[in-house]
């Protein structure tokens, strides 16, 4: 039993709630009305005891004023203390000291006292200035099709590069900044004559030039005529070899041989070389003059006369029309004796260097990665295969991935790739930034796993949630994790609600362990408990519901226009006394309770009045027979705390009365007589509450009540 009692007691202490105000004592003044017997002294009366009057009474009293607690402010008298915050914005409200309750789209997650807008997609190079509204920093603009990521604005030309900071352009790989041109220009390893560097190690010949096969940085001029017997020095500019010339400026026909002197009976077929017309042959010692020749020919001989062939020296007659040369040294393979002691290689063969008898096959263009095995035929070296007739390329048995084959089974990776450690024939792309939750699929390009999304500008993969995480953040794979102090709402996977422990009473949980009181309730110093609020505060009562006071027992609301003021109730009217507590009349100063009553008080005269006198007010005796007024104890004035001024005033006043009194008394006596009034009471002087003279006007504030005159 005892233990239960202690528990109940401690619970009572815990739940004794206090509104967030502090109380300070102050001195105040009030005026109350007391009911008094107009004429005192009818002590033995049973029914008609004289009229009652209501008189005002001033007094000072101590009370307490309520001031707001630390962190709270009051805008006006009689309004509630409201908490103070740094800046809750227009949509937020200050919920408790330095704790904002932010509006939709705002958060106080960073600083509880300040509401800042919340942007679900983080603002990159931008400020979150309103809910889900990013504002780019100066020098930045939104990236295309993005409202939260901003990119720097390059004032300079940033083609083939990317803008890293406002007005700072970083050139792409393979490009470099040309400060004179103010742009990124490609870098080529070789200088290209008659061509331009149009990309990293990428060349383009000028018009009229074409790249040499296999050597793209070499550009050769092109002459449409092919420039036979000449050299194409510049596009369409064919410089004729010595002995050739453009006949009659016909450039398109190329260079024609020139014979000087001119051919006689022949045509000029090469510089200074005439071919004799049919039936003619050169005259001896002449290359331009032809003489008639033998019809059936006279090989290696001369037509001494038409149709008659005679062999030259060193030749022997083979047939009637043919002479054969004689070679002392035998001509080797693929060669023939064509003139005396002159071997001539077969077509497609040339002399071996330094020999005049041995011939070897000739390939018009040098065999690349191969050897010339027969005329015009290149045979590739082992490990190579033919690409063109004279050009062999290496063979990589496993084809190079993202690379090129540069030698037999030898790969070189493309720019931006590197060989994998396992297989040098497979090249993998290089991503300089870690892809995080993703895979590098091409140079500097990450491919994110599901549930992750690329973040600009690093390009790395970070968690992404389809649904907006409310009071939580995305941890990947579409999952939200609640902020501390929040709990996932049942049935939801992205909305977290604040948790208040213990739960809010007459309020709702709006922040972790922060309750917002319902309307009409106010915050207390107690955790999470809101109590009904009454303004002004209940006097002698308890605030039971918003704006409603429940009076303590014995108290009632006396004036409907002051519904917070509970007044004590005395069933029977208090006379010369005040109802200060329920059913308890408290005598005024200088009065004491009548022995037979609990509601009426009589004045005290000390020392007591003589037996033939009547105490009609505190320390005031009346000699009833002579109808004279006496002060039982004049010195008691000092006891009443009169100031010197008041004393002086009273003295003057009394002097006045002493002069006026007989006159007035006489008049009154005459009046009363004429009225045959039996009442013997003529004058009351109440030093505490003022003097009332018979027949004089009552003070305006007094009201006659009850028993009549």
Given the rule CB under 6 A, which residues bind ligand NAG? 44, 86, 111, 113-114, 127, 135, 137-138, 264-265, 289, 291-292, 353-354, 505-506, 532, 545, 559, 561-562
The answer for residues whose C-beta is within 8 angstroms of residue 708's C-beta and 6 or more apart is 51
CB of 377 within 8 A of CB of 392?
A: no
Smallest gap from residue 680 Cβ to ligand NAG (A): 10
| Residue corresponding to tokens 């060193």 | 314
| Residue corresponding to tokens 């889900």 | 132
DSSP 258: -
Q: For ligand NAG, give the closer residue by CB, 137 or 665.
A: 137
| Cα separation, 168 vs 184, whole angstroms | 12
| Cα separation, 119 vs 481, whole angstroms | 17
| Cα separation, 134 vs 146, whole angstroms | 10
Q: For ligand NAG, give the closer residue by CB, 670 or 703.
A: 703
Q: For residue 153, give the 3-state DSSP assignment.
A: coil
Q: For ligand NAG, give the closer residue by CB, 595 or 641.
A: 595
Tokens of 423: 């297989």
Smallest gap from residue 290 Cβ to ligand NAG (A): 7
Q: For ligand NAG, give the closer residue by CB, 248 or 284.
A: 284
CB of 392 within 8 A of CB of 369?
A: yes
| Cα separation, 685 vs 679, whole angstroms | 17
Smallest gap from residue 112 Cβ to ligand NAG (A): 7
CB of 68 within 8 A of CB of 81?
A: yes
Q: For ligand NAG, give the closer residue by CB, 134 or 435.
A: 134
| Cα separation, 464 vs 451, whole angstroms | 6
Smallest gap from residue 561 Cβ to ligand NAG (A): 5
Smallest gap from residue 531 Cβ to ligand NAG (A): 7
Q: For ligand NAG, give the closer residue by CB, 104 or 561.
A: 561
The maximal CA–CA distance of the chain, rounded, in angstroms, is 210
Smallest gap from residue 558 Cβ to ligand NAG (A): 7
**Can you say whether residue 652 is alpha, beta or left, with left for phi > 0 and alpha for psi between -120 and 50 degrees?**
alpha
CB of 402 within 8 A of CB of 418?
A: no
Report the length, in residues, of the chain. Answer: 709
From 91, 147, 34, select the one nearest 590 (Cα to Cα): 34
Smallest gap from residue 620 Cβ to ligand NAG (A): 17
Smallest gap from residue 167 Cβ to ligand NAG (A): 17
Q: For ligand NAG, give the closer residue by CB, 561 or 674.
A: 561
| Cα separation, 124 vs 460, whole angstroms | 14
Q: For ligand NAG, give the closer residue by CB, 200 or 485.
A: 485
Smallest gap from residue 42 Cβ to ligand NAG (A): 9
Smallest gap from residue 184 Cβ to ligand NAG (A): 29
Q: For ligand NAG, give the closer residue by CB, 559 or 635.
A: 559
DSSP 346: P
Q: For ligand NAG, give the closer residue by CB, 32 or 467.
A: 32
């Amino acid at each position: 039993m005892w233990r239960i009692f202690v528990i109940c007691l401690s619970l009572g202490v815990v739940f004794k709630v206090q509104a967030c105000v502090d109380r300070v004592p102050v001195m105040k003044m009030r005026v109350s009305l007391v009911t008094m017997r107009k004429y005192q002294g009818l002590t033995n009366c049973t029914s008609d005891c004289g009229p009652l009057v209501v008189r005002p009474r001033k007094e000072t009293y101590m009370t307490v004023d309520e001031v707001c607690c630390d962190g709270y402010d009051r805008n006006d008298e009689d309004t509630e203390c409201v908490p103070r915050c740094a800046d809750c914005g227009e949509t937020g409200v200050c919920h408790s000291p330095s704790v904002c309750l932010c509006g939709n789209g705002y958060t106080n997650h960073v600083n509880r006292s300040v509401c800042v807008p919340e942007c679900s997609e983080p603002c990159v190079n931008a400020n979150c200035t309103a809910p889900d509204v990013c504002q780019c920093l100066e020098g930045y603009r939104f990236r295309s099709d993005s409202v939260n990521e901003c990119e720097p604005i390059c004032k300079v030309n940033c083609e083939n590069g990317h803008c890293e900071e406002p007005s700072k352009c970083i050139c792409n790989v393979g490009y470099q900044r040309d400060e004179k041109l103010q742009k990124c220009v490609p870098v080529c390893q070789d200088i290209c004559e008659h061509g331009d560097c149009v990309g990293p190690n990428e060349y383009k010949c000028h018009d009229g030039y074409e790249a040499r096969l296999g050597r793209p940085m070499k550009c050769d001029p092109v002459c449409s005529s092919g420039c036979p017997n000449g050299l194409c020095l510049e596009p369409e500019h064919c410089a004729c070899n010595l002995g050739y010339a453009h006949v009659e400026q016909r450039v398109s026909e190329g260079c024609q041989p020139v014979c000087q002197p001119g051919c006689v009976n022949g045509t000029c077929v090469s510089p200074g070389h005439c071919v004799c017309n049919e039936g003619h042959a050169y005259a001896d010692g002449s290359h331009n003059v032809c003489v008639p020749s033998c019809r059936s020919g006279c090989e290696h001989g001369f037509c001494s006369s038409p149709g008659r062939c005679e062999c030259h020296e060193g030749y022997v007659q083979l047939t009637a029309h043919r002479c054969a040369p004689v070679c002392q040294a035998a001509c080797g393979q693929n060669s023939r004796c064509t003139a005396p002691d002159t071997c001539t290689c077969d077509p497609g063969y040339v002399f071996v260097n330094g020999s005049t008898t041995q011939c070897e096959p000739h390939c018009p263009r040098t065999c690349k990665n191969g050897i010339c095995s027969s005329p015009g035929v290149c045979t590739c070296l082992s490990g190579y295969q033919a690409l063109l007739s004279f050009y062999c390329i290496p063979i990589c048995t496993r084809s190079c991935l993202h690379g090129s084959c540069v030698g037999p089974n030898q790969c070189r990776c493309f720019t931006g790739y590197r060989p994998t450690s396992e297989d040098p024939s497979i090249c993998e792309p290089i991503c300089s930034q870690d892809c995080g939750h993703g895979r590098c699929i091409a140079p500097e390009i990450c491919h994110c796993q599901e549930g992750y999304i690329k973040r600009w500008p690093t390009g790395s993969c970070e968690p992404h949630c389809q649904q907006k995480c409310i009071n939580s953040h995305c941890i990947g794979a579409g999952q939200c994790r609640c902020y501390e102090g929040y709990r996932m709402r049942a049935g939801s996977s992205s909305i977290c609600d604040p948790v208040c422990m213990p739960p809010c009473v007459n309020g709702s949980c709006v922040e972790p362990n922060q309750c917002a009181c319902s309307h009409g309730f106010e915050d207390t110093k107690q955790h999470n408990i809101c109590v009904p609020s009454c303004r002004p505060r209940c006097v002698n009562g308890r605030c039971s519901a918003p704006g409603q006071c429940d009076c303590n027992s014995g108290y009632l609301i006396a004036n409907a226009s002051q519904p917070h003021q509970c007044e004590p109730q005395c069933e029977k009217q208090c006379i010369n006394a005040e109802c200060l507590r329920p059913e308890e009349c408290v005598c005024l100063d200088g009065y004491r309770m009548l022995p037979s009553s609990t509601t009426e008080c009589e004045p005290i005269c000390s020392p007591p009045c003589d037996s033939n006198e009547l105490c009609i007010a505190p320390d005031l005796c009346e000699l009833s027979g002579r109808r004279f007024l006496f002060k039982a104890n004049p010195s008691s004035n000092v006891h009443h705390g009169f100031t010197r001024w008041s004393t002086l005033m009273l003295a003057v006043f009394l002097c006045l009365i002493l002069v006026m009194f007989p006159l007035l008394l006489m008049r009154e006596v005459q009046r009363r007589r004429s009225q045959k009034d039996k009442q013997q009471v003529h004058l009351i002087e109440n030093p505490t509450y003022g003097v009332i003279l018979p027949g004089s006007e009552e003070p305006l504030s007094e009201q006659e009540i009850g028993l009549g005159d």
